[in-house]
Amino acid sequence: MELWADRSFLRDVQYRTDANLTARQSIYAYQQPPVDLIGRVLDLALPAGRGAEVVADIGCGNGLYLAELARRGYAVHLIGADLSPGMLRAARQRVRDAGQGAPALLGADASALPLRDGCADLTLAMHMLYHVPRPELAVRELRRITRSGGRLVVGLNGHDHHQELRQLITAALASLGHDPVPMVSDRFDLDRGEILLRRVFTSVTRYDFQTTLMLPDAEPVAAYVRSMSVASQFADPDRLVQAVTSRLPAGSGAPFQDTSHSGCLICA
């Protein structure tokens, strides 16, 4: 099984804490023009002026969406679920740090959620379906817990997401005698997600958010590579980091440009 869908690896290694996810999230500080992904997704998903809806964030990670939802007035109506206890601890702390109370948090597999039918007015599944061995089973669970007339929002990346960085990583792996490693958008991207969701929901609206990462030096690239699951396969992960960063353009003074392409699918 690929590491991206290996439950034990995800729970006990890759996401034992939120350090790897935080490192990957930090690279988006270099977007030009900047994209407030969380804000834009929630603006699209939540009707203006309403705060009484129950929102379930499945695969909530370290709680970025939960914290923003709490700031928007949904603190007493939030459910967060994640496979990783480490992620749930980080999510709980993030919402507390925002001074907005604590959501109901559950350790759960997205393919078998311990939630009743129709419990959520809005269900979020942001950048998590590529971690599920059988995405179609998770989608049916997400639909089951979403009430009739409610909405499901699925976040995924476009196939060209990080395409320039992927080329560097592939070349670095080859130089170290390691097989190529598919990125998450190779496993399950926006296009595949849209096809699957249209089989299950009567209405699916797609929104793409495309911009460019302008990376000024090797540090954000190093942090990103070090956080990847493939780095854990090396006795010394810095061998891979060095092999990647040594391929960055040197001496020009211009930033390394990398494609950022994410999006969401709003289903009803």
> What's residue 179's pLDDT?
86
DSSP 18-84: SHHHHHHHHGGGGEES---HHHHHHHHHS-TT-----EEEET-TTSHHHHHHIIIIIGGGEEEEES-
> What's residue 7's pLDDT?
85
The pTM of the full predicted model, rounded to 2 decimals, is: 0.94
Does residue 98 lie within any of the structural domains? yes
> What's residue 47's pLDDT?
74
Does residue 47 lie within any of the structural domains? yes
| Total residue length of the chain | 268
- Distance from chain centroid for Cα 35: 15
> What's residue 73's pLDDT?
84
CATH of the domain at 261: 3.40.50.150
Ranges under pLDDT 70 in the chain: 1, 48-52, 100, 251-252
User: For 89, what's the count of Cα atoms within 13 Å in the CB-facing half-sphere?
Assistant: 9
Does residue 156 lie within any of the structural domains? yes
Does residue 241 lie within any of the structural domains? no
> Is the bond preceding 33 in cis, omega lying within 30 degrees of 0?
yes
Does residue 155 lie within any of the structural domains? yes
> What's residue 140's pLDDT?
97
24 C-beta neighbours (distance < 10 Å), count: 16
Specify the number of domains making up the chain: 1
Does residue 232 lie within any of the structural domains? no
Does residue 238 lie within any of the structural domains? no
Beta-bridge partners for 151 = 122
> What's residue 1's pLDDT?
56
Does residue 23 lie within any of the structural domains? yes
> What's residue 250's pLDDT?
77
Which domain, by its residues, includes 18? 3-161+185-217+256-267
Residues 175-202: tens digit of each pLDDT: 999 988 877 778 899 999 999 999 999 9
Asked whether 39 and 62 are in contact (CB, 8 A), the reply is no
Alpha carbon distances (Å) from 250 to 75, 236, 256: 47, 24, 10
Asked whether 42 and 65 are in contact (CB, 8 A), the reply is yes
User: What's the Rg (C-alpha) of the chain?
Assistant: 19
